[in-house]
Amino acid sequence: MSANNRSAREITTRGDMTFEQLSLIALLAATLALFVWGRWRHDVVAALALLTAIALGLVEPEQAFTGFSDPAVVTVALVLILSTAIRASGILQRIVGHLEPILQRPNLQVCVLVALVTALSAFMNNVGALAILLPVAIYSAEKSGRSPATLLMPLSFGSLLGGLITLIGTPPNLLISSVRRDLGGEPFAMFDFAPVGVGIAVVGLAYLTFAWRLLPRDRRGAPSPENRFRIEDYLSEVEVAADSPLVGKTVRELEKIGDGDVTVLSIVRRDDRRLAPAGWSRISAGDVLILEAESAALKRVVDQGKLTLVGSKHIDPRHIRSEEVGIVEAVIMPGSMLIGRSAAGVRLRDYGVNLLALSRQGRRSRNRLSQQRFQGGDVIVLQGDLEQMPIILRELGALPLAERKIDLGRPAQVALPVAVMAGAVVATAVGLVPVTVAFLAAVVILALFRVTRLADMYEAVDGSIIVLLAALIPVTGAMQTTGLTEVIAVSLAAAGDALPPAGMLALVLIATMLVTPILNNAATVLLMGPIAAGFATKLGLSVDPFLMAVAIGASCDFLTPFGHQSNTLVMGPGGYRFGDYARLGLPLSIIVALVAVPLIMFVWPMR
Q: What would the mean pLDDT of 225-235 be, rounded to a whole number? A: 52
SS3 363: strand
- How many helices (H) and strands (E) the chain has is answered by 25, 10
417 and 555 together in one domain:
no
Residue that terminates a domain, selected from 444, 463, 482: 463
Can you give the C-alpha Rg of the chain in angstroms?
Answer: 27
87, pLDDT greater than 90 = no
Is the distance from CB of 529 to CB of 179 less than 8 angstroms?
A: yes
* DSSP calls for 534-602: HHHHHTT--HHHHHHHHHHHHH---S-SSSSHHHHHHHHHHT--HHHHHHHHHHHHHHHHHHHHHHHHH
477 and 543 together in one domain:
yes
261 and 318 together in one domain:
yes
137 and 212 together in one domain:
yes
128 and 259 together in one domain:
no
* Residue 185 C-alpha from the chain's centroid: 32
Amino acid (one-letter) located at 252: R
Q: Is residue 51 part of a domain?
A: no
- pLDDT the model gives residue 355: 84
Is the distance from CB of 198 to CB of 151 less than 8 angstroms?
A: no
Q: State which H helix or E strand residue 33 sits in.
A: helix 19-37
- pLDDT the model gives residue 1: 42
Highest mean predicted confidence (pLDDT) among 21-30, 390-399, 408-417: 21-30
The overall average pLDDT reported for the chain is: 84
Burial class (CB in 10 A: 0-12, 13-18, 19+), 312: middle
Residue 561 to residue 577: CA distance in whole angstroms: 9
100, pLDDT greater than 60 = yes
Highest mean predicted confidence (pLDDT) among 92-106, 419-433, 484-498: 419-433
113 and 157 together in one domain:
yes
- pLDDT the model gives residue 199: 97
- pLDDT the model gives residue 319: 61
- pLDDT the model gives residue 318: 65
Q: What would the mean pLDDT of 378-401 be, rounded to a whole number? A: 86
Q: State which H helix or E strand residue 72 sits in.
A: helix 71-89
Number of domains in the chain: 3
Q: 91 or 28, which is more confident?
A: 28
Q: How confident is the model over 191-218, as pLDDT tens digits?
A: 999 999 999 999 999 999 999 999 886 6
Amino acid (one-letter) located at 369: L
155, pLDDT greater than 80 = yes
* Nearest C-alpha neighbor of 545 from the set 204, 267, 287, 196: 196
Confidence of residue 172 (pLDDT cuts 50, 70, 90): very high
- pLDDT the model gives residue 597: 96
Q: 365-382 b/e with 16+ CB inside 10 Å = b? A: eeebbbebebbbbbbbbb
Measured between alpha carbons, how far is residue 213 from residues 107, 153, 202, 210 in Å?
10, 11, 19, 7
Q: How confident is the model over 424-476, as pLDDT tens digits?
A: 999 998 889 999 999 999 999 999 988 888 888 888 888 888 998 899 999 98
Confidence of residue 409 (pLDDT cuts 50, 70, 90): very low
Confidence of residue 102 (pLDDT cuts 50, 70, 90): low
Q: 85-108 b/e with 16+ CB inside 10 Å = b? A: bbbbbbbbbeebeeeeeebeebee
- pLDDT the model gives residue 225: 45
Q: Is residue 7 part of a domain?
A: yes
248 and 300 together in one domain:
yes
Q: What would the mean pLDDT of 341-347 be, rounded to a whole number? A: 81
Q: What would the mean pLDDT of 359-373 be, rounded to a whole number? A: 69
Q: Which of 93-107, 391-405, 499-513, 545-559 has the lowest mean pLDDT?
A: 93-107
Q: Which residues form the domain of 116?
A: 72-222+413-463
* Residue 508 C-alpha from the chain's centroid: 26
- pLDDT the model gives residue 528: 92
Alpha helices, DSSP H only, in 90-167?
91-99, 106-121, 126-143, 149-162
Q: How confident is the model over 40-67, as pLDDT tens digits?
A: 888 899 999 999 999 999 999 999 999 9
- pLDDT the model gives residue 25: 93
Q: Which of 225-229, 318-322, 501-505, 582-586 has the lowest mean pLDDT?
A: 225-229
Q: Is residue 123 part of a domain?
A: yes
The CB-side HSE value for 16 (13 A sphere, CA atoms) comes to 8
Q: Is residue 60 part of a domain?
A: no
474 and 368 together in one domain:
no
For a pLDDT cut of 70, what percent of the chain falls above it?
87
Q: What would the mean pLDDT of 360-371 be, rounded to a whole number? A: 66
Q: Is residue 361 part of a domain?
A: yes
476 and 499 together in one domain:
yes
